[in-house]
Amino acid sequence: MEQVLAPKFNFTPKNSQSVPVDGFDYGEGGYDPKKENVGFNQQTGQFQIEIKGLVKPKSKEATRICQEDLNEVIAAFVQDKISLERGLFDSEMVPEEFTQVRIGKIIKDKYPELDENDQEAVRQHAIAALNLTQQAKKILNSAGDALKAGNAALIDGVRKFAMDVHDLDIDLIDRINPFGEAYAILAKAMNEDSLKQVALVIAGKKVNLTIEEARELAQRALKFKQERGRLPSLTSQDPWKKRMAESIAFLARMKAEAANG
């Protein structure tokens, strides 16, 4: 993916106590306490973005990672060959498999010393940085603003995206394919037949669910149950809920097979 690394983002949870941060310009109309705001500090080049449902890091190390190391996490993710291939060409791909499971695993492997809350905080900050950057570029490209300079263009794109959605929350960000804009760029460089041929090759290499992936998905399913009082259903019309339910069924089947010898 070209130019996926994110600028200086400072993400904060949006709640009733949220207030504007000194030194940040919140655009025309200023800070709006009723919505998620996007601010920019011209001197530092830093963005300040409010997101509903965002988990805050608790430890000093997790806070440091969210402030300084997000690009390392993003780089590790976009350089993952399987994720890149599936993200670009797998029509059955559920975005949350990447934004939650795949990036979650990368963070657990990279920062095993962090507790579960801090690992989730780093994951959310990383995917927010990646997806907001990609969505901003997508909006600017479609609007013909691609030649506008650096941060000025990006802040416009992020603000437009935030204004276009009803709520800028972490669930919405998780549902965005991180490779969507890369595919759009690729589609301009390749004809339709070539794209189809590559997609067929990738489809032929598709792997089944591993035990490790199933366990990670099952953990997400249990979190879903804690939040909503029920497990996701195999008959759900939502691909992500169905995928989580499939992981539970997969593990149950593996357990039954092991018990039966």
Domain ranges for the chain: 8-204, 211-259
Instruction: For residue 62, give both structure tokens.
Output: 């997790």
Distance, CA of 206 to CA of 192 (rounded, Å):
21
Least confident interval from 45-54, 91-100, 109-118: 91-100
Residue 163 predicted with pLDDT over 80: no
Higher pLDDT, 197 or 129: 129
* Average of per-residue pLDDT across 1-8: 56
| Residue 6 CA, distance from chain mean position | 13
Write down the residue that tokens 């400072």 correspond to: 10
Nearest to 183 by CA among 91, 94, 92: 91
Residue 124 predicted with pLDDT over 90: yes
Query: What is the pLDDT at residue 169?
Result: 93
Which amino acid, residue 239? P
Query: What is the pLDDT at residue 261?
Result: 61
Query: What is the pLDDT at residue 257?
Result: 74
pLDDT digits (tens, 9 = 90+) for 32-90: 998 899 888 888 888 899 999 999 999 999 999 999 889 888 888 888 777 777 777 67
| Residue 183 CA, distance from chain mean position | 16
Task: Give the up-direction half-sphere exposure of residue 123: CA atoms within 13 A in the CB hemisphere.
Answer: 25
H/E element, 40: strand 38-41
Characterize 223-244 residue by residue with b for buried, 16 or more Cβ atoms within 10 angstroms of its Cβ, and e for exposed: ebeeeeeeebeeeeeeebbbbb
Other Cβ atoms closer than 10 A to 211: 11
Write down the residue that tokens 């009733």 correspond to: 16
Nearest to 7 by CA among 200, 136, 101: 136
List alpha helices for 79-177, DSSP H: 81-89, 95-96, 103-110, 116-143, 150-164, 170-174
Query: What is the pLDDT at residue 60?
Result: 96
Share of the chain above pLDDT 70, in %: 80
Write down the residue that tokens 């830093």 correspond to: 46
> In the predicted model, what is the mean pLDDT of the chain?
81
Instruction: For residue 124, give both structure tokens.
Output: 């959310």
* Average of per-residue pLDDT across 90-116: 89
Share of the chain above pLDDT 90, in %: 29
Instruction: For residue 218, give both structure tokens.
Output: 């099952």
Nearest to 178 by CA among 49, 69, 77, 92: 77
* Average of per-residue pLDDT across 169-198: 68
